């Protein structure tokens, strides 16, 4: 009887372990790359940041001042970003949240980009923005659907995690928006720059075929983004 009970229990536990989703996933990455050190004696450099001794934490670890003013303009592009990620506010470590401020001059664009680790919720404080994100069309891998809106102060819009999106100032004065992210380090992949300004460059055979352009056109694009 007790042997029977032991077998049933063992089978039940095994089935639970094999099926439980908790055993089926790796953690989400917290940075772009995390190269393993092949040395068990190497100093700790965990996924994220190592923790300060809690006794040494101070209120300033949880504080950031300065979202009342714009960040520095990205030269020539008419947009400025100021981020409050874990590097800017150490108290955010492990909390899965961060914020940033975007300032856009009229007719200027926050170019097509994605945040590989976060959904972004934006709130417009000033100005008028045309925003949108692209969703692959499940009916056709080679197409996408655009979800776009014109936003005014007080309007909120969400860019789902990983999807390509843009923000464009369609008004006549500066626009200001705050974006909040469900990651301490959301990542920022600007699509055109990633593709045409990589180091080393992607072969022009690949880019020409990938974008159905000729190599002269590819060279022009690489020059624009370099």
Ligand X SMILES: *[C@@H]1O[C@H](CO)[C@@H](O)[C@H](O)[C@H]1NC(C)=O
| 217 forms part of the interface with ligand X (CB under 6 A) | yes
Instruction: For residue 70, state whether it binds ligand X (rule: CB under 6 A).
Output: no
65 binds ligand X (CB under 6 A): yes
Closer to ligand X by Cβ: residue 68 or 140:
68
For 45, the token pair is 């450099």
Using an 8 Å Cβ cutoff, are 224 and 197 in contact? no
Nearer to ligand X, 2 or 212 (CB): 212
Query: Could you tell me the strand order of the sheet in which 156-159 lies?
Result: 73-74, 79-84, 98-104, 175-181, 120-126, 156-159
The CA–CA distances, whole Å, from 63 to 80, 92, 98, 122, 130 equal 21, 9, 12, 21, 32
**Structural contact between residues 196 and 175, judged by C-beta atoms closer than 8 angstroms:** no
Is 58 a binding residue for ligand X by CB under 6 A? The answer is: no
* Residue span binding ligand X (CB under 6 A) among the ranges 88-96, 147-155, 196-204, 210-218: 210-218
> Mask 28-57, x = binds ligand X (CB under 6 A)?
----------x-------------------
Please report, as ranges, the residues that interact with ligand X according to CB under 6 A.
38, 65-66, 68-69, 214, 216-217
């Amino acid at each position: 009887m007790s042997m029977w009970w032991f077998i049933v229990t063992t089978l039940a536990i095994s089935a639970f372990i094999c099926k439980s989703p908790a055993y089926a996933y790796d953690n989400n990455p917290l940075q772009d790359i995390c190269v393993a050190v092949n040395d068990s004696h190497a100093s700790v450099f965990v996924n994220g940041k190592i923790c300060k001794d809690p006794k040494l934490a101070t209120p300033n670890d949880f504080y950031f001042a300065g979202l009342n003013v714009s960040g520095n303009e990205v030269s020539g592009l008419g947009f400025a970003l100021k981020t409050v990620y874990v590097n800017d506010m150490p108290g955010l470590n492990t909390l899965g949240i961060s914020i940033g401020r975007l300032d856009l001059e009229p007719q200027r664009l926050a170019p097509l980009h994605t945040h590989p680790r976060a959904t972004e919720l934006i709130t417009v404080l000033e100005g008028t923005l045309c925003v949108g994100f692209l969703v692959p069309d499940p009916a056709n891998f080679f197409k996408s659907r655009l979800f776009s809106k014109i936003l005014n102060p007080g309007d909120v819009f969400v860019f789902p995690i990983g999807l390509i999106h843009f923000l464009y100032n369609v008004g006549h004065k500066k626009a200001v928006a705050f974006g909040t992210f469900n990651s301490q380090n959301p990542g920022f992949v600007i699509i055109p720059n990633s593709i045409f300004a990589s180091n080393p460059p992607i072969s022009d055979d690949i880019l020409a075929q990938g974008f159905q352009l000729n190599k002269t056109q590819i060279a022009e694009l690489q020059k624009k983004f370099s």
